Chain A
Amino acid sequence: MAFFSRTPPDSSIMEGICSGGAERRHCERQLYEKYAYLIREGTRKHNLSEHDSSIAYSDAVLTVIEHLVAERFQGRSELKTYLYQIFSNKCVDLIRRNTTNKAQVHRSEGLNDALNLLPDEARTVVQELVLQQDMDLLRHRLRSLGEKCQRILWAWGEGYKDDEIATQLDYQSAAVAKTSRLRCLEKLRELYHMGSKTK
């Protein structure tokens, strides 16, 4: 009976996510399901629609997964609390985006972190160039890449390291996976610029 099914402990969910592969996907689903009741919190506390609240929740779960994989979460707070904190921030971001209608200038946490590594002057230069990128075209070009390139870039986007990518996608070594990945990025860049010119 589903009511009596055992909820997996956070420790095994976290371990599974960090272990990668099929186990990671399974544990990601467990994480999503375990705290999905927070979606109601988004509708109750932040007055979001159920649709928006569920998007904020998926975004928060994905962020937690990214932090776990990158070893940014050190377990000093409970996983539930950590997720709740991130989810609340995502809800506030979503409200801000909806009210200011500035979806096009919204940046993810990962992009902000990367930009913050740059010194002020260089950050301004790069930031302006990032804003000029046509994200829809870029996403379109991503989908038009060959399957192999798509899979390797996708795995990289999910936070897999080159050695894990090599194992998962049958490359001879991490170095080969890295070279292939950088080639795919170069190919994407060429495709993107070709598209920008012909647009």
Chain B
Amino acid sequence: MNERIEHYFNRQLPPTEQEQFEKELLHNPQLAEEVALYLSVKEALRAEILAERHAEWQQLAPPPARSQHPGRVVPLRPWYYSAAAVLVLAIGLVWFWLSSLTPDVHQMADAYVEENLASLSVPMDTEMDSLTSAIHSYNDGDYATARAKGQAILQKNASNADALNLLGVIALRQKEYEQAITYFHRLAAIPDLTANPGTFYEALAYIQRGQPSDLAKAKQLLQTVIAQDMDGAAEAKKWLAEMEDN
């Protein structure tokens, strides 16, 4: 198996070799086939591991409740009523405890940021060197440098969508919600983009800020995202359902 394949997907190839590898993929069918098989093996292994773990974990799960057999009806003794009252109270307490175990929309928003915005993908447009470098700084956790680079891009072009997105995400990660909302609002207003998560991220920032009227604003924005099938519509549906549940 060609070692370069592994190095490429582990991001261990130097930039020039990485570029060379990507070009070669287009003209070398054997390499392309090896890459496809490498990825498929990983996929097959994961499926095997999941099947094994699922079977193992199923043994840990409590057995499903069995259906009750019908029996003869026995009249209740008086003390049963007190026992039933205590039981109802206990069930109420357990229900309260269980409902507190389910994360609310704030927690779902936090998890979304953790899962999806912890690192940003670098656009393939090679002309955008400064943006690429800003995103690399962000992905390395150097928010100050990423912010400075992003702002420099915005100074040249105030409606650069990638820079607005990056600066909004940085502000969000640093809990500077006012700024995040402003950047995402500006991003949402840019027309004709193939993908524009601005409105969805603006709602996300409102949810995370959590001021008294923020949830109502977030709800409105999420409804817009769903109605216009914007980026984040699937997530918006889940969050709205969560808001309506609580």
Contacts and interface: CB of A to CB of B under 8 A. Distances in A.
Interface stretch (A13-21, A27-35, A165-173): A27-35
A122 B60 CA distance: 44
A133 B40 contact: yes
Nearest to A189: B37
A129 interface: yes
A129 B44 contact: no
Contact of A114 (B9, B45, B110, B112): B9
A156 B1 CA distance: 15
Contact of A84 (B6, B25, B42, B102): B102
Interface string B24-41: 011000001111111111
A110 B103 contact: no
B54 A55 contact: yes
Interface of A is mostly: helix
A44 B240 CA distance: 16
Contacts of A129: 32-33, 35-36
A28 B64 CA distance: 22
Contacts, number: 163
Given A76-B114, A76-B118, A92 B39 contact: no
B54 A58 contact: yes
B148 interface: no
B192 interface: no
A54 B40 contact: no
Given A77-B111, A130-B39, A58 B26 contact: no
A188 interface: yes
Given A85-B112, A142-B45, A54 B22 contact: no
B103 A126 contact: no
B152 interface: no
Contacts of B234: 92
Nearest to B34: A189
Given A77-B114, A111-B43, A84 B61 contact: no
Given A111-B39, A186-B1, A119 B111 contact: no
Nearest to B9: A114
B88 interface: no
Contacts of B45: 142, 153-154, 156-157
Interface of B: 1, 3, 6, 8-9, 11, 22, 25-26, 32-50, 53-54, 56-58, 60-61, 64, 98, 101-103, 107-108, 110-115, 118, 121, 124, 234, 238, 241
25 contacts: A28-B53, A29-B57, A54-B61, A55-B54, A58-B54, A59-B54, A61-B57, A62-B50, A77-B113, A78-B111, A81-B110, A92-B238, A115-B39, A119-B124, A121-B26, A122-B25, A126-B32, A133-B40, A135-B40, A138-B44, A139-B44, A142-B45, A157-B45, A188-B41, A189-B37
Interface of A: 28-29, 32-33, 36-37, 39, 41, 45, 50, 54-55, 58-59, 61-62, 72-74, 76-78, 80-82, 84-86, 88, 92, 107-108, 110-111, 114-122, 125-126, 129-130, 132-133, 135, 138-139, 142-143, 153-154, 156-158, 182, 185-186, 188-189, 192
A-B residue pairs, 5 tightest by C-beta: A157-B45, A129-B36, A85-B111, A77-B110, A81-B107
